[in-house]
Amino acid sequence: MPRKSITSYDVAKAAGVSQSAVSRAFSPGASISKPTREHILKVAGEMGYQPNAIARSMSTARKDIHQKSGMVGVIVTRLEDPFFAQTIAEFSRGIQAQGWQMLLFTVDTEAEVDTALNTLMQYKIDGAIVLSAILSDQMARACNTQGIPVMLYNRSAEGLNASSVEIDNHEGGRMAADILLEAGHTRIAFVGGEEGDATSTRRQTGFEERLAEAGRQIFRHETGDYTFDSGREAALRLFARKDRPDAVFCASDVMALGVLHAARNELGLRIPEDFSLVGFDDIPSAGWAGHALTTIRQPVRRMIKDAVDNLVESMESPALPPRIRRFEGRLIIRNTVRQVGSSSP
């Protein structure tokens, strides 16, 4: 027995004004006298009236102007990953704080991003955030002609008409190499993401570059998929052979924790006595006492605030050109890297 919800006409009748007046009472800058607005708001409150956001969005469509829905679409893969969970949580708060709603779309592979965005566009989102994935050139153009700004997070744009916010992966890779070289390591392994993964590739490139400056190169390369289990398996492979690495750099904390747990509890190795370990991201569990993972921290809060602010600006001024922003990571020294001098007898 659902009843029809009450509309601005109902309120108008009850308040003895026109429907336009009711609409104006609920529009912040509208031209309406203070007493009229207050009276209407009072009557509306008593009746439990709430403006219909869908109808508002509908009527907001004008010639050559993108229809405003008040919603921003967010596309994410692997939401169960702590790094993304934290990211989505921050985005959600940030978007709400600015008065927008978040339409969330979960995708399993990067290939689905275009389709997801397409679906979201049918809902007339005012802007889109794509996490750790890239969209096609064609899709970027479609967003562009429809006046929908796109923000790439944890990826960068390169020629696509999209803003982006990401960590300086190359420099982060260099930092990781730095501390491992400083500790005197020589057989340094790298556990990265799958072949072609942009983030992992950049971290690796920076890492190798710094290694090369010291006359070294990666001792062994393993591939994972950013899950704990893939880190665990990489560790098993890494330490199965006789010539073991004396240090491991992982392209993410989650994988590093997989390495750490497998090494300590399945392989009986000590960290950092038997090998040093460095991660990337600084997710909450990296700091837990029993992990104390040395890692490269991403300033997530600042990065997300920047991303949200920039997207909001673009949604409000569609003419704004896209902006690419890169943040610096910071080395967080905890207990998984051998101290200089404390190693050799």
Partner DNA sequence: CTGAAAGCGCTTACAG
The DSSP element (H or E) to which 278 belongs, if any, is strand 276-281
For DNA, the binding residue among 47, 61, 97, 320 (CB under 7 A) is 61
Taking the complex as a whole, the smallest distance from the CB of residue 1 to its own copies amounts, in Å, to 8
Round to whole Å and give the CA distance between 274 and 263.
10
List the single partner that 318 binds among its own copies, DNA, none, CB under 5 to 8 Å by kind.
Answer: its own copies
Query: Minimal distance in Å, beta carbon 300 to its own copies?
Result: 10
For DNA, the binding residue among 13, 14, 41, 51 (CB under 7 A) is: 51
Partner whose binding site includes residue 36, from DNA, its own copies, none (CB under 5 to 8 Å by kind): DNA
Q: Which does 24 bind (CB under 5 to 8 A by kind): its own copies, DNA, none?
A: DNA
What is each CA distance from 303 to 34, 153, 168, in whole angstroms?
41, 9, 12
Residues 48-77 touching its own copies, rule: CB under 8 A, are 48, 50-55, 57-58, 63-67, 69-71
Partner from DNA, its own copies, none binding residue 80, C-beta < 5-8 Å depending on class:
its own copies
216-255 binders of its own copies (CB under 8 A): 228, 232
Burial profile 129-158: b = 16 or more Cβ within 10 angstroms, e = fewer: bbbbbbbeeebbebbbeebbbbbbbbbbbe
How many helices (H) and strands (E) would you count in the chain?
12, 12
Tell whether residue 101 is a contact of DNA (CB under 7 A).
Answer: no
209 burial type by CB count under 10 A (0-12 exposed, 13-18 middle, 19+ buried): middle
- Residue matched to tokens 């009748």: 13
Place of tokens 């500790």: 183
Give the nearest distance from C-beta 207 to its own copies in angstroms: 26
Contacts of 207 (CB under 8 A, 6+ apart): 173, 174, 176, 177, 190, 218, 249
The CA distances from residue 278 to 39, 62, 214, 273, 312, in Å, are 63, 54, 18, 14, 36
Q: Work out what residue 31 binds among DNA, its own copies, none; the CB cut-off runs from 5 to 8 Å by kind.
A: DNA
Site for its own copies in 72-131 (CB under 8 A): 78-82, 84-86, 88-89, 92-93, 96, 101-106, 118-124
Of residues 80 and 195, the one with the C-beta less far from its own copies: 80
Burial category of 205 from C-beta neighbours within 10 Å (exposed 0-12, middle 13-18, buried 19 and up): middle
Binding-site ranges for its own copies (CB under 8 A): 1-5, 48, 50-55, 57-58, 63-67, 69-71, 78-82, 84-86, 88-89, 92-93, 96, 101-106, 118-124, 142, 145-147, 228, 232, 257, 260-262, 264-266, 284-285, 288-292, 318-319
